[in-house]
């Protein structure tokens, strides 16, 4: 049976390492592929593809879920420690229960622009689980530079996420050339537009990139965090985990880049950045009206 658009496949030439969805077929010979769980776009000859059975897709999704849950567990554990630290610095004591707390929390807000609508939905669900206010938009990577400024003006976020799909096309040449990447140049252009809007890297924190993106060019353009230092693939939810770290790190403290990357699924080879202040603010006292809105 021939492979069709929508099928799940792997590539024989890469040892069947990553599962992809076939998004289009060109001239009946070349398939355009998008990663199932990784932010990667690729193309491959039709005869290089192997169709994946539904039960194998389900196994891969279950493995990914386990990794996501482990990252979430680490985040929640560290957030408890950060909450106690912030409370102690403000009031001089800890040990109160959630119900008895006299403080309220204001984490940073996120504007998330994503080149993949399916990935965006998964990210929005995770932001909500993490308690982060987010404005999310599905935009093709090439359109992000056009819309970045107007969306920043409208929503005034603390954190901007620019992500989607990318890949380094080694056969085109130099690893430093943006022309050798599928979408890095659009991410770079969007970062430059964002920095024209807000030059201060602690007032607007930017994460930019996807699988195999040009890490150095993204940082040079003005991103605080980016992918991919080792030109490896990053997981769908990795940008969310970086945003969470920034959103819940106090405005008095800088984000520990190593710790932020450690809690992602991909790790330090896939994500990195520069010293950046957090966006979290602790307030007190919490009023009865505030408590009601929490419920």
pLDDT tens track for 134-190: 999 999 999 999 999 999 999 999 999 999 999 998 888 789 999 999 999 999 999
pLDDT at 101: 64
Tokens of 60: 């891969």
244 or 259, higher pLDDT = 244
> What percent of the chain stands above pLDDT 70?
91
Is the pLDDT assigned to residue 96 strictly greater than 60? no
Q: Distance between CA atoms of 113 and 136, rounded to whole angstroms?
A: 6
Burial of 261 (0-12, 13-18, 19+ CB in 10 A): buried
Which residues lie closer than 8 Å to 6 by C-beta, 6 or more apart? Answer: 21, 22
Task: Name the one residue in this structure whose structure tokens are 């390492």.
Answer: 17
User: 10 Å Cβ neighbour count for 189?
Assistant: 19
Q: Is 182 helix (H, G, I), strand (E, B) or coil?
A: coil
Task: Name the one residue in this structure whose structure tokens are 């800890």.
Answer: 94
pLDDT tens track for 26-54: 888 899 898 887 888 888 899 899 998 88
Contact between residue 112 and residue 135 where contact means Cβ atoms under 8 Å apart: yes
Of 22-31, 84-93, 199-208, 211-220, give the lowest mean pLDDT range: 84-93
pTM for this one? 0.84
Burial of 110 (0-12, 13-18, 19+ CB in 10 A): buried
Contact between residue 40 and residue 166 where contact means Cβ atoms under 8 Å apart: yes
Q: Distance between CA atoms of 40 and 30, rounded to whole angstroms?
A: 16
Q: Residues 223-249: what's their mean pLDDT?
A: 92
Spatial CA neighbour of 89 closest among 294, 280, 290: 280
Q: Which runs of consecutive H residues, i.e. helices, occur in 131-225? A: 144-155, 184-197, 215-221
53 or 230, higher pLDDT = 230
């Amino acid at each position: 049976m021939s492979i069709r658009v929508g099928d799940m496949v792997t590539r024989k030439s890469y040892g069947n390492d990553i599962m992809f969805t076939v998004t289009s077929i060109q001239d009946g010979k070349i398939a355009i592929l998008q990663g199932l769980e990784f932010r990667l776009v690729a193309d491959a000859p039709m005869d290089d593809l192997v169709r994946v059975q539904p039960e194998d897709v389900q196994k891969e999704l279950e493995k990914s879920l386990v990794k996501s849950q482990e990252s979430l567990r680490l985040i929640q554990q560290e957030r408890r420690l950060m909450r106690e630290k912030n409370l102690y610095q403000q009031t001089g004591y800890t040990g109160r229960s959630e119900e008895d707390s006299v403080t309220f929390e204001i984490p940073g807000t996120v504007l998330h622009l994503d080149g993949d609508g399916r990935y965006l939905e998964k990210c929005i669900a995770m932001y909500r689980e993490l308690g982060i206010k987010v404005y999310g938009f599905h935009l093709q990577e090439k359109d992000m530079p056009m819309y970045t400024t107007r969306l920043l003006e409208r929503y005034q976020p603390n954190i901007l996420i620019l992500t989607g799909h990318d890949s380094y096309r080694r056969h085109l040449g130099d690893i430093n050339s943006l022309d050798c990447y599928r979408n890095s140049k659009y991410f770079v252009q969007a970062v430059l537009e964002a920095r024209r809007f807000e030059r201060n890297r602690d007032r607007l924190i930017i994460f930019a990139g996807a699988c195999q993106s040009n890490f150095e060019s993204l940082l040079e353009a003005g991103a605080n965090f980016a992918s991919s230092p080792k030109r490896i693939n990053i997981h769908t939810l990795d940008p969310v985990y970086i945003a969470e770290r920034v959103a819940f790190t106090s405005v008095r403290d800088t984000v520990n880049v190593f710790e932020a990357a450690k809690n992602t699924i991909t790790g330090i080879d896939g994500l990195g950045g520069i010293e950046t202040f957090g966006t979290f603010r602790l307030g007190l006292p919490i009023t009865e009206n505030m408590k009601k809105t929490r419920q």
